Chain A
Amino acid sequence: MMPGRNVLFPGEHRSFAVMLRGTRQKDHGDDTRAVQQQQQRGERSSVHKRVVAGLLALFAAVIALMVLAQPASADGEQLSGRIENRVEGVKTPLAGVTINAVGGGFEGSATTGEDGTWVIPVPAQGEYAVTIDVTTLPEGVGLTDPEKVTFVTTVKPPNINRVVIFPLGQSTATTTSLWEQAAQLTVSGLQFGLMIALGALGLSIIYGTTGLTNFAHGEILTFGALATWTFNAGFGLPFILAAFLGLILTALFGWLNNAALWRPLRKRGTGLIAMMIVSIGLALLLRNLYLFFYGGDKAAYAEYAGLAGLSFGPVSITPTDIVSMVVAVVALAAVVLIIGKTRMGKATRAVSDNPSLASSAGINVERVITFVWVLGAALAGLGGILLGFTQQVSFQMGFQILLLIFAAVTLGGLGTISGAIVGSLVVGLFLQLTTLVIPTELKSVGALLVLIVILLVRPYGLLGRRERVG
C-alpha cells in the first residue's frame, strides 16, 4: 500500500464543498434552497439505501453461516442436567446415575446416558424437587456438599428448560500447598490474559482509529469460535483447516461490519455516542441470532477435547493450552510489529493520533480503517477460537468476556497498543490469583472492581499518556 499515491485530501475536499454550498445559498435565495434541499434529501436517501443494503448484507452473511448448523434445543418444559465428576478441572461424564423429580402430582426419573446428560420432561410449569440417587454414583465420587441431595427448583418462563446442577467431586478434599496452587493459577491466568489480549488489542486499535467503543466486539470473537466449530464438528474438517477457514471468515466478517454498517454511518456523520448505542443493538441482535441457530448449549471441538494434562513441577497443563498460548503470543507479537514497523502500521498510528491531519498528509483514512477492522476482527476471531478450547463454544462466550476486555483496555489506557496487552495480562492474572482468597464465582467481581479503582487513581490507564480525558 502506498499511502502517498491517492492523495485527494478528503478532509479539505469536504469542507470546500460545504463552503460552496453556503455561498450559493446566500446568492440565490429561496428557489435554489428548495432545489438544494431536494438534492440533499436525495443524497440522504441514497445513504439510507446504502445503510439498509449494508445491514442486509451483514445479516445475510451471518444467517448463511448459521443455517448450516443444526438447531440444538428441545421444545417444552423440562428439567435437565449433566452429571460430571470434576477433579482438578478435568471433567468426566458419569453414566447410569439416577435422578428423580417430584412436584405438582408428577413423579419422574431419568438415568444419565454415556455423555452424563439426563432429561426429565415435566407436564407443566411449577415447582419441582430434584433428587440425585447417591447410591448410583460410582465409588469414590460424592457430592461436594453431602447435604445437597435435593434441589427445589421452579420451572417457569424464561427458564422452561431448567438445568439442575449437582456439585460433584472427590469425596475427600485434596490438599495442595498454597505455592503449588499459585503456580498453577499464574499459568492459567497468563493463558486467559493472552486470550483477553487478543480481543483487547482489536478493540483498542478500532477505538484508536475510529473512536468507536464497540460493544459488539465480543460477538466477533464468538463468530470466530462458532465458524470454526461449524467447519470442525459440523462438516468434519480437521481442526487446523477449520480454524484457518474460521479465521478468514472472521476477518471477512470484520471487513463486512465496517463496510456495511460503520463506514456508511461515518459518512452520514453519526455521532460517536449514537454509534456506541448502535453497536449495542448489533451485539444484542448477533448474540440472539447465534442463540437462535446454535441453541444455548456449550459444545466442544471434535478434536483435542479432554486431553490429559502434562505435569511441569506443580503445574499441570494440556498440550492445547501450550499451543494456544504460543499461537497467541506469536499473533500479538506480529501485530505489534506490523503496527510498529510497516508503512500501513505507521499510517494507522498517524490516523489514531489525528485523523484529519493524517488525511491532509495524504493518508487514505478509510483504507487504514478497513485494514484496522480486518486486523482487529481476525485477532478477536483467533481469541474466540482459542477460548473455545478452555471454555467450550457457546453463543455468549464473547459477551461474557467483553467486560473483561473493556476492563483490560481501560486498565492499560484506551487506544494504546502496549496498554491493551499489559492490561489484559494483569486482568487475567488478577482473575485467577484472586481465587486463592475469594470464591471462584466472584473472581469477575474483583477484576471489575479493580477497573473502577484504577479509574479513580489513574483514569488514563496504567500506560496511557497523562492527559485530560474529561
Chain B
Amino acid sequence: MDWGYIISVMIVSAFGVEAIVFGLAAIGINMQFGYTGLLNFGQSAFMAVGGYSVAVTVIELGANFWWGVVIAFAVTIVLALLLGIPTLRLRADYLAIVTIAASEIVRLILRSVTFKEIFGGSDGQFSFGADFFALSPLPEDLAFRIGPVVLNERQIFVLIVGWALVFLSCLIVWLLVRSPWGRVLKGIREDEDAVRSLGKNVYLYKMQALVIGGLFGAIGGIIYAVGNEAVSPDFFGTDTTFFAYAILILGGAARVFGPVLGTVIFWAIIQGTDVFLRSAIDIGVPVLSLMTGTQAAVVRFMLVGLGIMLLMIFRPQGILGDRRELALDAR
C-alpha cells in the first residue's frame, strides 16, 4: 500500500477547498448554535445562496463577479429574515424543522427543470470565476507539489484567499463574542428568560446571530463556487449541513478555533479513509477488497453519522470545548 500517497492526500484535504468551505459553514453554525443556541439545520441553503448568487450574476446577468458577492450577501440577509421571523419566537425544534425544510426548498428550486434557464437544473452552472482569478498575483506556471498531488496556480490562489477568510472570520467571531453583545448571546443560550427579564430584546439578538451565521455560510458557498468553478444543486443537500455540524462538534462548539481545528481533522480523516479503502481494494487486501468502489465511497458518510453520535454522547464539548460552558439542553 502506498502510504506516502495516502498521507499526502490527507494533508492536501486537511487544508483543501472543502476544508475551507465547511470550516466557514461551521464558523457560521458556531455563531448560531455554539454561542446563541439556535439550531439552524439549513446552513446548506445559505451556502447555496452564496454560490448560486455569484454564478447566476456572472453567467445570466453578465455582471461583474463582485456584484455577485454583494447580491449573495443581500439575498442571505433576506433568507435569514424570512426564516427567523416565523420561528425565532418559537421553541428550538421549530427553527430546526423550518430551516431544514427551507434548505430542501432551495435545493429543489435550484435543480428544477422549471428554473433551468436561471439556475442550470441538476447540472448547475459552470465557469464564472474569471474576475476573481484576474486578481491573482501568482505567476501562471506556478505549481506546488505535495507528494504525488500537484496544485496549480488557481488552486493555490483559492486556498490562500480561503484560509485568509477563515482566519478573518475567526477574528470577527472572537471580537464579537467578547463584546457586551456577545455576552448577551451567551446569556440567551444559557437562559433566555433571564436575559429577557434584564430588558434585552432576545428576538432581535437571535435574528442578528442568525444573519451573521448565515453570512459566514454564504462566504463558504462562494469559496466552494470559485474553488470548483462550478455549482451544482445536490452539493447543497442536508448532508452538507450535517457535515458542518459534525465538524463543529468535533472541534468544539462555542470556541473560536473549534470549527477550524474540526474541519482540518475531519477532512484528513474522511479523505484519508476514502483513499485508504480504495487502495486496499486495488491491491486486494483480504476482507476489505470484498467491497466495491461505490461501497467504499459510502463508508465516509457512515463514519460521519457514527462520529456525530459518539461525539454527542461521549464528548459533546469536542476537542477544544468546555463541558461546563456548553450545556446543550432543551430550550
Contacts and interface: CB of A to CB of B under 8 A. Distances in A.
Contacts of B83: 452
Contacts of B102: 448, 452
B330 A271 contact: yes
| Contact residues of B: prevailing secondary structure | helix
Interface in B239-269: 239, 242, 245-246, 249
A284 interface: yes
A48 B98 CA distance: 34
A268 B274 CA distance: 34
Given A441-B108, A444-B104, A451-B101, A284 B242 contact: yes
Given A281-B309, A406-B101, A452-B101, A48 B314 contact: yes
A406 B104 CA distance: 13
Interface residues of B, number: 55
Interface string A237-257: 000000000000000000000
A410 interface: yes
A406 B100 CA distance: 10
Given A281-B306, A284-B301, A73 B295 contact: yes
Contacts of A271: 327-330
A75 to B, nearest CB: 5
Given A456-B85, A469-B91, 10 more contacts: A73-B292, A282-B309, A284-B301, A285-B305, A414-B93, A442-B112, A444-B105, A448-B104, A453-B86, A455-B86
B294 A470 contact: no
B86 A439 contact: no
B27 interface: no
Contact of B312 (A274, A288, A407): A274
Contact of A403 (B104, B114, B305, B328): B104
A75 B294 CA distance: 6
A283 B246 CA distance: 13
Contacts of A441: 108, 112-114
B312 A278 contact: yes
B162 to A, nearest CB: 20
A403 B295 contact: no
A154 interface: yes
B168 interface: no
11 contacts: A71-B292, A73-B294, A157-B297, A271-B328, A274-B316, A280-B245, A284-B305, A403-B100, A414-B93, A455-B87, A470-B89
A285 B105 contact: no
A401 B242 CA distance: 18
A276 B331 CA distance: 12
Given A288-B301, A459-B90, A277 B109 contact: no
Contacts of B299: 288, 292
B313 A51 contact: yes
Given A271-B327, A274-B312, A451-B98, A285 B90 contact: no
A456 B81 CA distance: 13
Size class of the contact patch on chain A: 35 or more
A439 B112 contact: yes
A439 B113 contact: yes
A182 B14 CA distance: 54
A154 B123 contact: yes
Interface string B106-133: 0011001110000000010000000000
A272 B309 CA distance: 14
B61 interface: no
Interface in A413-470: 414, 439, 441-442, 444-445, 448-449, 451-453, 455-456, 459, 469-470
Nearest to B115: A442
A441 B116 CA distance: 12
B104 A284 contact: no
A277 B308 contact: yes
Contacts of A265: 313
A292 B242 contact: no
A289 interface: yes
B198 interface: no
A448 B305 contact: no
A73 B293 CA distance: 9
Given A292-B295, A445-B109, A469 B302 contact: no
A448 B330 contact: no
A317 interface: no
A213 interface: yes
A281 B93 contact: no
A444 B108 contact: yes
A451 B87 CA distance: 11
A241 B141 CA distance: 67
B39 interface: yes
Contact of B293 (A51, A75, A273): A75
A40 to B, nearest CB: 15
A445 B108 CA distance: 7
Nearest to A441: B112
Contact of B93 (A213, A286, A407): A213
B87 A281 contact: no
**8 residue pairs, one from A and one from B, having the closest CB atoms:** A281-B308, A285-B305, A284-B305, A271-B329, A272-B330, A281-B309, A288-B301, A456-B86
